[in-house]
A and B are shown apart, each in its own frame.
Chain A
Amino acid sequence: MSDLKYVGKSIPFKYADQKIAGDLKYVSDLSMPGMLHLKLLTAGIPRGKVKEIDTTRAEALDGVKKVYTFKNTPRRPFNGYYWYRDQEMIKDEVLLTDYVRHVGDRVAAVAAESSETAERACELIEVEYEKQEKPILDLEEALVGGDALHEKGNPFAEREFAYGDVDGLFAKTPSELIFSDKMETPKVHHAAMENHACLAYPEPQGKLTVISPCQLIFSVRLIISTLLDLPLNRVRVIKGNMGGSFGAKQETFLEPLAAFVARDLNRPVKIFFNRRESILATRTRSKILGKVKTAVSPEGKILGRDIDVIVDAGGYTSNGDIVSAAMAKKISRLYRIEHQRYHSYSVHTTTPPGGPCRGYGSPQIHALTEVNLDRAAAALGIDRVELRLKNLLHPHEKDLLGGPDIGNARIIEALEKGREEFNWTRKKKANQKSGRSGRYRRGIGVACATHVNGYYNVYPDFSGINIRFYEDGSILLNTSIHDLGTGARTIMAQIAGEVLEVDPEQITVLEGDTDRSPYDVGCHASRGTYVIGKAVQQAAVKLRELLLEETKKLAKNLPGVKPEEKLEVVIEEGRIRIGSDHYSYQEIISRIQLENQQELNVNYSYHSQANPASYGAHFVQAEVDTFTGLVEVKDYVAVHDVGQAINPLAVKTQIDGGVQMGIGMALMEEIDFDQKGYPLNTNFHDYHLINAPAMPEIRVFLIEDKEPHGPYGAKSIGEISTVPVAAAVVNAVNDALGKFLTTLPLTPPRIIDALY
């Protein structure tokens, strides 16, 4: 381990200086000569068919270029989740709709010379609806109510995954060993600090370029090309600098509209949302309503589990079905459970669409199952950590649902480490002593969780890399990585630098540009470090080989070397040794260019070899004010099984950020609606995030035991870091109160309501 030079080091992020100085231009900062501003008119009602749209007043406004509605935009339905050809999915979204399915649905758009004019014009558009129809908000009602937003009806999708004999098991298990819970997790706003933005502009030869702070340039390209009937080579998508995503910018829904208008008007067109639009007119973390029934032996062995979930997809399908499958695939990768069933329905409701959101269903499903385990532990009188330890999977144990090998799974060590660092036993005793009385009550909670490392075996999971040496020994690493602000470019430079013994400072890492960079599936599903990082490592190995090979050719021509003589050529500490002479890269590479007339350039395509599980165990001490219902997180320990931290500081900040999001989900974040379907919190005044005073210090510990197929043994951290949080926090609150609260977030009124 210690012989690594760049991997395992906390190197500052690339472009950090520019970000601090405000020099880095985000997509929302971009402007171009002649650029038009495209402003959306989003629906102000939850549901209704558009009867008439009168755009004449808007069109008459000085500075308005054109007004768009369903009447003059493509009608072809799409799904923003589409990323490879012939992918099967429900396509039920259009650029601009004539039937409103949630407040914030896209109804019209105005292209104008200034954003203020566009905004003003939007206010002048008069939309008349046939009638305001009944909203669909309650998930259980949606399931049986017979009311639907789309042709497919409600529910629009059903899934079942099962193994073992669940019915048989529950039939023979005495009821006192069966533990049931019903849990609701909230519709959460991603809250990337940069609102959604994109810029589209026409180029010569009928080409269209789009700069987007997205996660899948090739998906954006595919969807635009499909909707606008353009061949792929006429659409160029460039990943722009982004102020955070967390999944919010993973799906494609704004870019095609900007692209269409840019083409229609032959002018650059920019969309830049405001906060209300980002909350209502993009994507959200899918809300779920889950039921779980777990059979546990008196000794604490989990015998079987039956899970029923309703996924709230919101007004459009998006990933409302896929996220359900993703949740299912986590249930057999944490504990050894011989009989299990997962069943789900997905329904449409008159609320903003769900979509990918950090963890992709994992935080939701773990909230359900980890809170439920605490109920079992309490009833059986088994310590909650012990109960988990009795059931956790060992490295390479089988995923009984048939998923890929879980790999070098080190969750047991993570949990044990956390127990020790958190002082679980001592804190538990202290709580027992103080009892559950007094105004402020303290509780402790723990949760374990698992998440993925890419798509291996489910979807295509490959990455093209182009890497080349410049003649001075510096490197260009051309990838389709999308740095979401996580430092992905720095991580890639560290990996390549390690292989090639070049300082990561000397490595330029390019982000995705569909015209210039090799194909990659995109930065999602926690595949950045594990898959793309591995691709980079392998490509760098090839480049190293090429360098040696060419050096050997060169060595033959060195003065004083006889042709038949074989000189040893090796790379040592970033220099090349030929025989007993040392040369810098610069010297050698320049000569390779001059004498061998060869570029040191490697194109490499790597497809993932596995999809091991990443793990985390989180421990929380929370204090509840039983008068006000406010919860303060007092102590927080997060232990993660990461294989190898490429950049420990980056890992730590990922975890802290993940915890921030998770505490929000547990305690305060929820896009809320009134009974008529109108949203109640559409700005940061009413939609609270965890701010600095509400954020606890996080004590992070890493289990670093290498993962076979990961680059230098690394596996994912970005998503898993937020997966156990809500469950652990809720468990701590429940412990403090002696309750089993399961409607998230645990807002002060909900806590008070449960207490009195």
Chain B
Amino acid sequence: MSELKVYTPGEVKEVLKLLHDKEKVRILAGGTDLLLELIKLKREGCVLIDLSRIEGLEYIEKKDEELEIGSLVTFTDIHDNPVINKYAPALAAASGQVGSVQIRNRATIGGNIAHASPAADSLPVLLAAGARIKVLNAAGAETVLVEEFLHNKDKYRNHLITAILIPVKGDNMIDFFGKVAYRRDVATARINMGVRTVYQPENGKIIKASIFLGALSKTGVRADLVEEYLTGKRVDELERERFFAALRETVDKSIPGRYSQPYKRRAICGLGDDFLQELQREGSYE
């Protein structure tokens, strides 16, 4: 009584054709998000494009100042990968906190971005690092910022994500990922945060900070107030309370009046606190 049509193309161009030709099509990568809706997909008579036979989308490469990660790389592989741990440690950390071992063994980074659940753990770090993705459709290839992709999901609906491009973390940068959930392991983020800061090695002054919060909206929230506060300061000049206030205000602005607001505006300070400690540890400005 199957009403789900499943295609198993072996070539990317077949995928693109299916995406172009079929209605109600969904891409099946790892499946850990999509298959939660299996019954609904069947009921609606959806068409699945199973990517399991596509080769060549499971690579991790460093290219000059960018890491390129194939879209079908799993979170386990990202978490364990030494290159990623070196050049995008926050992504490695976030990947280690996605679901359980079993989920991480299946879930792919491409799937995580495409599905773009508001609480997805990879998104804040990708956003903070200014990551881009390569997408393809029948009309051709395009490289787009993750941020832009999330804001224009409709436009990219019938595209295939093939790779993620992440600017590498330089020696004068500090990356951070933090997550708060109601259970320490295997739980959905109530709030998460990805940070990339650039500082001047000579004096430890932060010259650029990019901070994104997740689980607040569908697209990730840029914590511009916090960025502003950090920029131009040395770590030892930071005032905890003012830093926290900026974090809180960011939360307040993004979910005013929401049931979860009182909790999240406090919990974010926990991540802020962790981040400050990280700054102190790593910020080798002395």
**A–B contact via C-beta, under 8 angstroms:** yes
* Chain A interface residues toward B at CB < 8 A: 62-63, 114, 116-117, 119-120, 123, 439, 625, 627-630, 632, 668, 685, 688, 691-694, 747-749, 752-753, 755-756
Most A C-beta atoms less than 10 A away, residue of B262, B267, B273: B267
Q: Which of A627, A692, A752 has the most B CB atoms < 10 Å from its CB?
A: A627
Assuming the contacts A116-B1, A117-B1, asked whether A752 and B266 have C-beta atoms less than 8 A apart, the reply is yes
Partner of B183, one of A694, A755, A756: A694
Find chain B residues with CB under 8 A from A632 CB. 184
B182 nearest in chain A by CB position: A748
User: 17 new A-B pairs (CB below 8 Å) besides A62-B1, A627-B269, A752-B267?
Assistant: A119-B39, A625-B270, A627-B273, A628-B180, A628-B267, A629-B267, A630-B184, A668-B183, A688-B187, A691-B183, A694-B183, A694-B184, A694-B185, A748-B190, A752-B262, A752-B263, A756-B262
A-B contact pairs, 9 of them (CB 8 A): A439-B270, A439-B273, A627-B267, A628-B267, A630-B182, A685-B188, A748-B263, A749-B262, A752-B267
Contact status A693-B185, CB under 8 Å: yes
Chain A residue with the shortest CB-CB distance to B100: A691
Contact B270 A627 (CB under 8 A): yes
The residues of B that contact A753 with a CB separation of less than 8 Å are 262-263
**Main SS class of interface, B:** mixed
Is the CB–CB distance between B266 and A756 below 8 Å? yes
Q: Assess whether A120 is in contact with B1, with CB atoms less than 8 Å apart.
A: yes
| Contact partners of B238 in chain A: CB under 8 A | none
**B266, chain A: closest CB distance, angstroms:** 5
Q: Chain A's nearest CB lies how many Å from the CB of B261?
A: 10
Q: Which residues of B contact A116 (CB under 8 A)?
A: 1
Most chain B CB within 10 A, of A123, A628, A629, A693, is at A628
Q: Is B43 an interface residue (CB 8 A)?
A: yes
Q: Does B141 contact A (CB under 8 A)?
A: no
Assess the B263–A688 pair: CB atoms within 8 A: no
Q: Which of A625, A692, A749 contacts B263 (CB 8 A)?
A: A749
Nearest-neighbor residue (CB-CB) of A753 within chain B: B262
Residues of chain A within 8 A (CB-CB) of B270 are 439, 625, 627-628
A-side contacts of B183, CB under 8 Å = 668, 688, 691, 694
| Bound-complex Cα distance A62 to B182 (A) | 44
Query: Size of chain B's interface in residues, with CB distance under 8 A?
Result: 20
Give A62 to B187 CA distance when docked, in angstroms: 40
Give the Cβ gap from A28 to chain B, nearest Cβ, in Å: 19
* Alpha-carbon distance A627/B193, docked complex (angstroms): 15
A739 and B176 CA atoms in complex are apart in Å by: 34
- B residues within 8 A CB of A630? 180, 182, 184
**A111 → B minimal CB distance (Å):** 16
Residues of A within 8 A of B186 (CB): 691
Contact B184 A668 (CB under 8 A): no
A748/B267 in contact, CB under 8 A: yes
| A755 surroundings in chain B (CB, below 8 A) | 266
Min CB distance B119 to A, Å, is: 11
Residues of A near B1 (CB, < 8 A) are: 62-63, 114, 116-117, 120
Report how far A625 CA is from B267 CA in the complex, Å: 9
Cα distance, A688 to B263, chains bound together (Å): 18
Q: Mark B1-34, 1 if CB is under 8 A from A, else 0.
A: 1000000000000000000000000000000000
Per the bound structure, the CA–CA distance linking A319 and B218 in Å amounts to 45
CB neighbours (8 Å) of B187 from chain A are: 688
| Residues in B whose Cβ lies below 8 Å from that of A63 | 1
* Complex: chain A residue closest to B269, CB-CB: A627
User: Among residues 12 to 70 in chain B, which have CB atoms less than 8 Å away from a CB atom of chain A?
Assistant: 39, 43
Name the distance in Å between A120's Cβ and chain B's nearest Cβ: 6
Give the residues in chain B near A117, CB-CB below 8 Å: 1
Min Cβ gap A46→B in Å is: 20
Residue of A nearest to B36 (CB): A685
Q: Which of A62, A114, A694, A755 has the most CB of B within 10 A?
A: A694
- Tell me which residues across on chain B come within 8 A of A629, comparing CB atoms: 263, 266-267
Complex: A749 Cα to B265 Cα, angstroms? 11
Cβ–Cβ < 8 Å partners of B269 in chain A: 627
How many whole Å from A605's CB to the nearest CB in chain B?
48
Closest partner residue, chain B, to A625 (CB atom): B270
Closest chain-B Cβ to A685's Cβ sits at a distance in Å of 7
Give A692 to B270 CA distance when docked, in angstroms.
23
The 8 A-B residue pairs whose C-beta atoms are closest, nearest first, are: A627-B270, A628-B270, A749-B263, A693-B185, A628-B180, A628-B267, A752-B266, A688-B183
Contacts of B39 on A, CB cut-off 8 Å? 119
Q: How far is the CA of A693 from the CA of B96 in the complex (A)?
A: 14
Interface centre among A688, A694, A748, A755 (most CB of B within 10 A): A748
* Bound form: Cα–Cα A649–B124 in Å: 46
**Contact across chains for A668 and B182 when beta carbons are under 8 A apart:** yes
Q: List the B side residues contacting A747 at CB < 8 Å.
A: 182
| B262 engages A693 (CB within 8 Å) | no
Residues of chain B within 8 A (CB-CB) of A119 are: 39
List chain A residues, Cβ under 8 A from B260: 749
Q: How far is the CA of A192 from the CA of B228 in the complex (A)?
A: 51
Interface readout for B244-280 with A: 1 if CB under 8 Å, 0 if not? 0000000000000000101100110110010000000
A692 and B187 alpha carbons, distance in the complex (Å): 13
What's the least CB distance linking A648 to chain B, in Å?
A: 30
Kindly state the separation between the CA atoms of A62 and B1 in the bound complex, as whole angstroms.
Answer: 9
Residue of A nearest to B186 (CB): A691
Tell me, rounded to whole Å, the shortest Cβ–Cβ distance linking A653 to chain B.
22
Q: A753 vs B262: C-alpha distance in the bound complex, in angstroms?
A: 8
CA gap between A62 and B270 in the complex, in Å? 56
Asked whether, in the complex, the Cβ of A693 is within 8 Å of the Cβ of B184, the reply is: yes
B65 to chain A: closest CB distance in Å?
35
Give the complex CA separation of A114 and B190 in angstroms: 39
Distance between A461 CB and nearest chain B CB, rounded to angstroms:
40
CA distance A31 to B182 in the complex (A): 39
Task: Kindly provide the distance from the CB of B188 to the nearest chain A CB, expressed in whole angstroms.
Answer: 7
- B185 — nearest CB in chain A belongs to which residue? A693
Looking across the interface, which residue of chain A has its beta carbon closest to that of B3?
A120
A62 surroundings in chain B (CB, below 8 A): 1
Residues in chain B near residue A120, CB distance under 8 A: 1
Residue of B nearest to A117 (CB): B1
Determine the residue in chain A with the shortest Cβ distance to B268: A627
- Asked if A688 and B267 make an inter-chain contact with CB atoms under 8 angstroms apart, the answer reads no
Of all chain A residues, the one with the shortest Cβ separation from B191 is A628
Q: Which residues of B contact A688 (CB under 8 A)?
A: 182-183, 187
Of chain B, the residue at the smallest CB distance from A745 is: B182
Distance A258 CA – B266 CA, assembled complex (angstroms): 51
* CB-defined contacts of A752 to chain B, threshold 8 Å: 262-263, 266-267
A685–B182 Cα gap in the complex (Å)? 11
Bound-state Cα–Cα, A149 to B262, Å: 36
Chain B residues with CB under 8 Å of A749's CB are 260, 262-263
Cβ–Cβ < 8 Å partners of B267 in chain A: 627-629, 748, 752
Nearest A residue to B244, CB-CB: A627
User: How many whole Å from A191's CB to the nearest CB in chain B?
Assistant: 14
Q: How far is the CA of A753 from the CA of B260 in the complex (A)?
A: 11
**Could you tell me the distance in whole angstroms from the C-beta of A115 to the nearest C-beta in chain B?**
11
Instruction: Report the minimal beta-carbon distance from A74 to chain B, rounded to whole angstroms.
Output: 31
Given A120-B1, A668-B182, A688-B182, A627 contacting B266 (CB threshold 8 A): yes
| Shortest CB distance A611–B (Å) | 38
Query: When chains A and B are docked, how far (Å) is the Cα of A632 from the Cα of B185?
Result: 12
Contact A691 to B185, CB < 8 A, known contacts A117-B1, A120-B1, A627-B270: yes
A120 to B267, CA, bound (A): 42
The CA of A753 and the CA of B180, in the complex, are separated in Å by 16
| Alpha-carbon separation in the docked complex, A756 to B273 (Å) | 17
Residue of A668, A752, A756 most packed against chain B (CB within 10 A): A752
Shortest Cβ distance from B235 into chain A, in angstroms?
18
> Which single residue of chain B is at the shortest CB-CB distance from A120?
B1
CA distance A396 to B99 in the complex (A): 52
Which of B263, B269, B273 gathers the greatest number of chain A CB atoms within 10 Å? B263
Residue of A nearest to B272 (CB): A627
CA A114 to CA B2, docked complex, whole Å = 13
| CA–CA, A628 and B187, complex, Å | 14
Distance of A628 Cα from B190 Cα, bound (Å): 10
Query: Bound state CA distance, A694 and B182, in angstroms?
Result: 11
